[in-house]
A and B are shown apart, each in its own frame.
Chain A
């Protein structure tokens, strides 16, 4: 799965408009980003990419770019 494909999947699970998530966006400015969204991200990384992401790693992430960096090993 490519970065773009993963982003589109994440958008679907977070119920935001397709194409609305951009790598430069800060998580603190995303209305859809909360503790449940973090769990959705972990689930998606596990299910689609076989990558384990910890809660601590997500807490350190400041932007969409940071989130994608966490799943890089599973992306093509």
Chain B
């Protein structure tokens, strides 16, 4: 198969057209102002997929844009990894549909993997494994979610945070030193009650007449809607993120000072700033890119990388720590050497 080391050849993301800004949310939730929502979350607006618009529709545009940018052809893809928790259908696999829609060779491998905010790290880990074991030369990783379709309109605790997006990442084989890894992972299924949709799966089927229940903070949802226990999720990140970073540094044999940039999953600004201070990461080495897109699940890291590249915070050759964490609970971290070659 020739070269067997993985590198990040390019990243591209797309967003749905409709923008939901804080003014619109404040008008729906009396007692809140646009500025208060921004102060609490660090988010000014998020993008909302149209009815019937799927993550795969966004991913298709991202992938086509990326191939154009890289001057690559669908025929070059020999493995498609598709990360989503909002697939087009319960079955079949969205990656299979994408093979057909994108015109990828029928000889390519394609699979979905169901992870949320840790999904970018796991996707890179799988891509590296496929390339460095000689199973593939060009892996297209697609991350796509339309979480806003899972939220109850009356639940401001999550409507203020989440937005929809898709990202495409091309991971290719090269003869040189690997530019992706090492990886560390983490899983704790005890997090189930704190991030879930109680009904709609096989364990508990969707309940069309489910009661709308309000919590103490005035947020209302049914068992068919996404639920997040913000306090417990915050504690989960405090327990796991610093440890994941330290384990990754140790595995790579580098110090925190040698890392040029830290790109964490963009959950909300408050949580990110707290983690940054706790881990004593200088502000100039830490990416905050949540203001215009919100929490876009496994797309936040590629979106943040692009924002950092555009702002000049991410330079060619930089050593970048990526950390994803969230629903499952599931988390992972890796180090990426940003390619010197233009993409």
Interface residues, chain A, CB within 8 Å of chain B? 28, 34-36, 38-40, 42-43, 46-47, 52-56, 58
Contact flag A58-B274 (CB < 8 Å), given A35-B217, A36-B40: no
Measured CA separation A60–B230 after assembly (Å): 16
Are B231 and A42 in contact (CB-based, < 8 A)? yes
Q: Which residue of chain A has the shortest Cβ distance to B40 in the bound complex?
A: A36
With A36-B230, A39-B270: A55-B235 Cβ-Cβ less than 8 Å = yes
With A28-B216, A47-B277 in contact, is A39–B234 under 8 Å at CB?
yes
**Could you say which residues of chain A place their CB within 8 Å of the CB of B218?**
34
Closest 10 CB pairs of A and B: A55-B231, A55-B232, A34-B217, A35-B217, A38-B231, A43-B274, A39-B234, A39-B230, A35-B230, A36-B40
Report how far A17 CA is from B274 CA in the complex, Å: 23
Q: Is B93 an interface residue (CB 8 A)?
A: no
Closest to A56 in B: B232
B215 to nearest A CB, angstroms? 8
Q: Would you mind naming 15 contact pairs between A and B with Cβ atoms under 8 Å apart?
A: A28-B216, A35-B157, A35-B219, A35-B230, A36-B157, A39-B230, A42-B235, A43-B234, A43-B270, A53-B235, A54-B231, A54-B232, A55-B229, A55-B232, A56-B232
Residues in B with CB closer than 8 Å to A39 are: 230-231, 234, 270-271
Enumerate chain B residues within 8 angstroms of A40, measured Cβ to Cβ: 270
Residues on the A chain within 8 Å of B194, using CB: 55
| B126 contact set on A, CB distance < 8 A | none
Q: Tell yes or no: B278 within 8 A of A by CB.
A: yes
**Distance between Cα atoms of A64 and B232 in the complex (Å):** 20
A54 engages B277 (CB within 8 Å): no
CA distance A34 to B230 in the complex (A): 11
- CB neighbours (8 Å) of A54 from chain B are 231-232, 235
List chain B residues, Cβ under 8 A from A52.
Answer: 235, 238
B152 to chain A, nearest CB (A): 15
Convert B217-245 into 0s and 1s, putting 1 for each residue whose CB lies closer than 8 angstroms to a CB of A: 11100000000011110110010000000
Q: Is A35 in contact with B274, judged by CB distance below 8 angstroms? A: no
A15 to B210, CA, bound (A): 37
Q: Is the CB of A58 within 8 A of B231?
A: yes
**Most chain A CB inside 10 Å of its own CB: which residue of B218, B230, B231, B238:** B231
From A38, A47, A58, B278 is in contact (CB under 8 Å) with A47
Chain B 259-281: CB-based contact to A (< 8 A → 1; otherwise 0): 00000000000110010011000
CB A5 to nearest CB in B, in angstroms, measures 19
Closest A-chain residue to B160, C-beta based?
Answer: A36
